[in-house]
Amino acid sequence: MFKDREDAARRLATRLSHLRGKRPLILAVPRGAVPMGVILATELEGDLDLVLVRKLGAPGNPEYAVGAVDEAGHVYVNPDVTDWLEPAYLAREVERQRALLAARRAQYGAPQVDPAGRSVVVVDDGVATGATLIAALDAVRARRPAHVTVAVGVASPQAMERLRGHADAVVCALVPEDFHSVGQYYQEFGQVEDADVTEWLGAWHGPGR
């Protein structure tokens, strides 16, 4: 178990220490992974930015991810839901989440760093199904980075298997067999607010950067 997101980020930084000196680009998945991204970018002497994706919630259970969508409209759907997920519902959910992505991008500001040709680390605090993070990885891949590593605090074994097909390397601090939820592996797992993200990004991209 981690004490908090900072603890998870520092454990990941240790496992990614081979990237120090290579100026990696750390792309955090908002909102929870942003404080982790700040630590990784600092520890690895890299750059920091965001990759924006939104979970596609299941009918009647919005917390369960049936897939995810990125800013460009690319959609990933979990293979195990295609038999029962209605196309009409999926189309409505995609449009709803894309509208939220547009609003979030307007709040956070335009991307600051081009990942083309870069060594990129996509970071998240935890992964249950893998849908959101896979959409993030596919979005990053489309921009032609040289190498993509996914770094997560905790993941289910099923999510780990799915992630391996979408990144050059997968680094995860905890892969418990009895995984139930991301939050159960953090002693402190408070909500990260949009205002927090905006403040962290403003400080990172401010004068002197």
Segment 98-137, tens digit of pLDDT:
999 999 989 888 777 899 999 999 999 999 989 889 999 9
CA distance readout (Å), 152 to 46, 137, 147: 17, 13, 17
Domain contains 181 = yes
Residue 161: its pLDDT value, please?
92
Give phi and psi for 72, each to the nearest 5. -80, -5
Number of compact structural domains in the chain: 2
CATH of the domain at 138: 3.40.50.2020
The tens digit of pLDDT for each residue in 136-171 reads 999 999 999 999 999 999 999 999 999 998 999 999
Q: Are residues 61 and 44 in the same domain?
A: no
Closest CA to 171 of 119, 205, 122, 108: 122
Q: Are residues 143 and 162 in the same domain?
A: yes
User: Token match 């489309």: residue?
Assistant: 142
Q: Are residues 87 and 146 in the same domain?
A: no
The tens digit of pLDDT for each residue in 163-208 reads 998 999 999 999 999 999 999 999 999 999 999 999 998 888 876 6
Domain contains 209 = no
